[in-house]
Structure 1
């Protein structure tokens, strides 16, 4: 009996080991396929801009080769080679760190599997470990991209659905009035309007991140009942007017839109620029084209003096002078017009942080993200999916003259007297003009923003008094994380150790101040020059000048602002 039982146990052990071995081999085969497919996709996504840049480089060098001194060219190429070797070194270090971080997370499981093999002669934990690796690789290679593509209907504004009113347009831009995402909120047309200027390259949809999840920068204003407008660039590929657009065109179109918005609502506009849109908005304001139309200014993570950037400015400074030229990022369209390649512009930012963006490092970073979900039930959040959808799909070419404005700001600093390196209408643009016009300015920046660093965003503080609000996290956190009304740094509240004012609250306070001024304005009554009789009640009623619409009733904005100042969530103006 004992011999029979022993034989049965040995058979069971052999059978289990054999099954575990087959499971491990199958999982290993699946993991290998997923790894190769995933790395291939990540490498391809990175390699496409490399090929584009190589094409532009060869074209420009072919045109300039005969005009440059051979000695200067050799020196420039050697410097460029040195930069490339330095980036290769950073790439390898970054990849090594990410692989080590992933291995550290998974090492315990591998160690337990080895212990079971050595002391129990079983392979169950090894099979489970390899199966887990196969599952992680499957998530990164297949499930994650599918989730990113699937978020498209929820991401952004989707103007094609007709929910947002097309208010005005020019040959270059469309202006939409953003409808509240909360059905119980209606727009107050007597409230102070705001015009949002998104960045050219990154597009407008990042400011309408996930409206259905109440994570949308533009909807933070609209859901408070404010008339909220956003400027959207038309398709540059099919519009020569955009391809040839200048900074002056940008300023003129913005002035036209502000004038139309002010006429619609009877109040001056709050101008709000995000990222590159903030710098362009500042230039338009300083040019004088928006005088009398804009009375408040907000910028979010906007690069005001790019020469103070620790990352991108350093990267540009390391380039040989002859290669630090927009020509190497210029696309020639079929009609002969030249534009700045938006995909290549985005790739330059990746080169700046090559240790994090090299394909292998990015691949293992995503593996690590899922590996931290130790329970094995790998989930993909909507925020992560939407963010990656934006990174993968929202890159747009921009007019060469507009790109030149940003290029100048990253190569030439603001002068000692506060003059920008850019000119519009052949006028100097000096920061002190905002103080002369008494336009309040709120600068919002990200404390961990490695794209537009704090020093770059806060450069105007060296010349004029500006209100500052720091937000935790990085470049788009204001539009994603903190656009949730329930977040710790909700945009309609005060928050942080400094009791900082969010951009929505800033606008609410501007609106409340305007409403109070309207209510306190003296009533004007016409009187006849010479009359010996007392005016009748009917005559007095006819002669009484009507108050503006904003003064006839107390605007809810004032009540809302007082609540928000106490850092309490505000639901917005709701329908009765």
Structure 2
């Protein structure tokens, strides 16, 4: 009996120890999770606040001059309007943060309460230790695993011209012209095929158009892997290229002309000019300037802002911004050599302000936290697509030539006239859509159905003045370059898709080539 009692006491002691250790582990997991929570949120907050601090520096510089040229009453009224504008943005961000917090708590609270009840009353099921362990893993995923995956994707993301895979064909003081070769070893480029010249966006960077070539997700390789002679215009490093820092719209057109001449000489056929986002707007301006006559007979624009005044989100944002502060000077950076450029990071931050409901730091942090939440004991895995998208967002902002930025700025503040004339000129010449009709240039306009950066109305503005073919892609601004650049996707670029039998940009170009042969 004594021995049985000692064994019973030992078992009781073991149970007590196990329960104590369970509580200790739960507390340790909770402390680890809280530490990672604050570390992770601080990083998201810094990404938002650093551009804000830079903007205050530019603001102070500009206002030191403007205050000398305006009356105190005008300045005071403008500052009061700016305060109201800032409070409105803050309220939107706070409201969005509360909504996301509610969504997060709705996801987490049932399991947390169940775990707490199981622990207190010794019920079967996951105890608090297991719940806090999962919570700690979730926070670690955001603070360590996710950032590591983003860093590691760098070798797979983008063109990596330094590897010599794509030959340099020509260059000017501002740009380099590369030929993009197929990634599919079974495909050979057709030397006598119709060539395409791709103009990447300025702010977003060219590498978004070579998203993940090794995963068959690359806009440019969609053309090259069809045997199409594919070329891309790459902007030189603006920090070390003075000629690019002071580039004008006329310089852009002349460099595009030189590249088109070189491409046409190589293949003996006119070029299809293909611009993505702001590259599409620049390409259209280049064509309307008349400098590409005889060199370009077809045009493709993807999610390109043609009339920024039709952008509901940005139009409302600019309408609420006091007129005094709707000025490029507040986003202008002075380089060490004295040249002025538009700050690309600040432009990306302005987009975050415009979309504060989805881009506020707490919203972005909790959204990623919920996305990376481990379920059913499965390890946290970050997809290459998610890692590459975040690598692009964190590393691919570029400063812009001020004159080129001014062209886009004008398009977002002054609408196209009733006769189809853009609010900018090149070589002293008005730019009118009628030129495209006159020269019988075939045009495909692609837009994203859920694009909140370049809305449908902004991209399709030319249809009010001329005829053009339209292709509507699901999802948002970069989906054409990411999701739909996969040849096996539902909207593959070399196919027809959708209920309206839309043509992807590669299909459009291939059909042009076939019609030329006929």
TM-score by length of 1: 0.88
Partner of 1:308: 310
1:354 CA drift (Å): 1.1
Partner of 2:90: 88
Partner of 1:441: 443
Runs of 5+ in structure 2 lacking a partner?
Answer: none
- State the SS of the aligned residue for 1:429: strand
| Aligned 8 A contact 2:196 2:274 in 1 | yes
Partner of 2:339: 337
Alpha-carbon displacement from aligned partner over 1:447-506 (angstroms, at most 9, x marks no partner): 011111111111111111111101001100000000000000000000001010000000
Q: Does 1:327 align with 2:339?
A: no
Aligned length: 516
- State the SS of the aligned residue for 2:484: coil
Q: After TM superposition, list the pairs within 5 Å mapping 1:1-400 onto structure 2.
A: 7-8=9-10, 10-120=12-122, 125-371=127-373, 373-400=375-402
| Aligned 8 A contact 1:105 1:371 in 2 | no
1:124 CA drift (Å): 5.5
Alpha-carbon displacement from aligned partner over 1:376-411 (angstroms, at most 9, x marks no partner): 321000000000000000000000000000000000
- Of 410, 413, 433, the match for 1:411: 413
Mapped to 2, the partners of 1:213 and 1:367 lie a distance apart of: 26
Partner of 1:402: 404
1:6 CA drift (Å): 5.8
1:11 CA drift (Å): 2.6
| Aligned 8 A contact 2:134 2:374 in 1 | no
Mapped to 2, the partners of 1:415 and 1:43 lie a distance apart of: 42
- State the SS of the aligned residue for 2:68: helix
| Aligned 8 A contact 2:448 2:479 in 1 | yes
Alpha-carbon displacement from aligned partner over 1:266-319 (angstroms, at most 9, x marks no partner): 000000000000001000111111111001100000001100111112111111
Partner of 2:492: 490
Task: Please tell me whether Structure 1 or Structure 2 has the larger radius of gyration of its CA atoms.
Answer: 1
| Aligned 8 A contact 2:374 2:380 in 1 | no
Runs of 5+ in structure 1 lacking a partner?
Answer: 517-576
Mapped to 2, the partners of 1:419 and 1:125 lie a distance apart of: 68
1:108 CA drift (Å): 2.7
Structure 1 26/118 Cα, relative in aligned 2: closer, same or farther at 3 Å? closer
Alpha-carbon displacement from aligned partner over 1:223-252 (angstroms, at most 9, x marks no partner): 001110000000111111101100010001
Mapped to 1, the partners of 2:448 and 2:110 lie a distance apart of: 36
1:446 CA drift (Å): 0.5
- State the SS of the aligned residue for 2:481: coil
Mapped to 2, the partners of 1:482 and 1:40 lie a distance apart of: 34
| Aligned 8 A contact 1:101 1:368 in 2 | no
Mapped to 1, the partners of 2:56 and 2:447 lie a distance apart of: 34
Mapped to 2, the partners of 1:278 and 1:375 lie a distance apart of: 47
Mapped to 2, the partners of 1:123 and 1:92 lie a distance apart of: 37
Mapped to 2, the partners of 1:309 and 1:150 lie a distance apart of: 36
- State the SS of the aligned residue for 1:67: coil
1:445 CA drift (Å): 0.5
Alpha-carbon displacement from aligned partner over 1:148-198 (angstroms, at most 9, x marks no partner): 000000000000000001011000000000011111211111100000000
- State the SS of the aligned residue for 1:109: helix
Mapped to 1, the partners of 2:456 and 2:377 lie a distance apart of: 38
Q: After TM superposition, list the pairs within 5 Å mapping 1:413-428 onto structure 2.
A: 413-428=415-430
- State the SS of the aligned residue for 1:478: helix
TM-score by length of 2: 0.97
Structure 1 373/160 Cα, relative in aligned 2: closer, same or farther at 3 Å? farther
| Aligned 8 A contact 1:340 1:403 in 2 | yes
Structure 1 302/292 Cα, relative in aligned 2: closer, same or farther at 3 Å? same
| Aligned 8 A contact 1:17 1:124 in 2 | no
Structure 1 372/474 Cα, relative in aligned 2: closer, same or farther at 3 Å? farther
Structure 1 123/215 Cα, relative in aligned 2: closer, same or farther at 3 Å? closer
